[in-house]
Amino acid sequence: MATDVKVPTLGESITEATVGQWLKQPGDAVQADEPIASLETDKVSVEVNSPVAGTLSEQLVKEGDTVAVGAVIARVGEGGAAAPAPAAAAPAAAPAEATVAGAPVNPAGAGENVRPREEDDPAPQTAPTGDAALTLSPAVRRAVLEHHVDPSTIKGSGKDGRLTKDDVIAAAQAKKTESAPAAAAAVAPAATAAPAPSGERKEERVKMSRLRQTIAQRLKDAQNTAALLTTFNDVDMTAVIDARARYKDLFEKKHGIRLGFMGFFVKAVALAARDVPSVNARIEGDEIVYSDYLDVSVAVSAPKGLVVPVIRSADRMSFAEIEQAIAAYGKKAKDGTLSMDEMKGGTFTISNGGVFGSLLSTPIINPPQSAVLGMHRIEDRPVVRDGQVVVRPMMYLALSYDHRLIDGREAVTFLVRVKEAIEDPTRLLIDL
């Protein structure tokens, strides 16, 4: 008797998802609560677990299909015997699918490189490592598939020895380095005999993920709905850089986390929002909703696009709590494990394009929020201080805001307050 595998509840207001990847193929043995598929929603990736132990007998949808909450996407049969191979498959042909540590790879006809099956039986979803099992997150599984490495041979650097995406990439690079001389020697004669045609022009079409579609739609909606305007200023980072240099070792020793720039800016925004509360407000119909708390959405780059996890009540948090929250969210975004609750809400956004080298930009607000602060790279520039031209580490700041709610005077005042707090961090301590 087969058991139906249904799409689980995905969160408030989310009714459908896209099948991102099948983690198990028909005939594979599965354990109860073992992931068999990965779904992509508008915000995060969600794993679908098998409700019972047995054998995956049937896949009812394909990768890329859209499925509704509660829909049946697969069936799990009793027992652990593998299902017989299709009759149409030729014994001498290349294997239709390969398995790397239990994660399926598409057939070669789908346009992806595959590795021949090394064993007749599929490898289990978890590979034993000592007394513990090596459990792979969706992000790590994808990296294993892309780089064709054996996860059981890699030492994990994550919590409890778990593998991270960086571990897989490092192992793949080491493998490439070792095999480069032999590969170059093997390829060189072929390249001499049959040089690749010059001037070849190619195109590739890739379907947008649900996350990318949602990002595109929300950004366009913001442009169509809000009266967007951006005001700029620059800030001397000397005081913050000196404070970090003076206290970074003590801070890390006490709190177990590095002291970054974001904590200073979150604190500065909280201070400035008290003087200009409209930047922390939103429009609902014909009403303005003011918040007496500051929930900061911090834009984080994830493998599949930009995500904005929310630091709740950031105005009431210490520097250490802010930095710890940001570090935890950054790791989750990288591993693809952010939950929808962690990205809901937010009253103000901070986006740091400086980590990618951006000098200046005009960020777009994250509806229904009314303002976003853009940080940029720090670079030494000549400025005038006390009548003398000196070199200072300077950063451009950009505040994009909804002009329907925030006047130009208020936007400029807010940005000046942030600038003053960063150039004189003592203001953050004495609430000026």
Number of Cβ within a 10 Å radius of residue 275: 12
Residues in CB range of 125: below 8 A, 6 or more apart: 23, 24, 30, 31, 34, 35, 101, 102, 103, 136
Look up residue 24 and give its two tokens: 């198990």
- Concerning whether 403 is annotated as a catalytic residue, the answer is yes
Are 323 and 263 in contact by the 8 Å Cβ rule? The answer is yes
**DSSP secondary structure, 232-296, as one string:** EEEEE-HHHHHHHHHHHHHHHHHHSS---SHHHHHHHHHHHHHH-GGGGEEEETTEEEE-SS--E
Bridge partner list, 183: none
Q: Which of 376, 207, 215, 206 is nearest to 305 (CA)?
A: 215
* Cα gap 21→100, rounded to integer Å: 14
* Cα gap 425→243, rounded to integer Å: 9
- Which of the following is catalytic: 33, 65, 121, 403? 403
**H/E stretch holding 191:** helix 165-193
- Which of the following is catalytic: 4, 65, 221, 407? 407
Are 37 and 21 in contact by the 8 Å Cβ rule? The answer is yes
Q: Write down the residue that tokens 């777009």 correspond to.
A: 364
Largest Cα–Cα separation, the chain: 86
* Cα gap 268→233, rounded to integer Å: 15
Q: Which residues are catalytic?
A: 403, 407
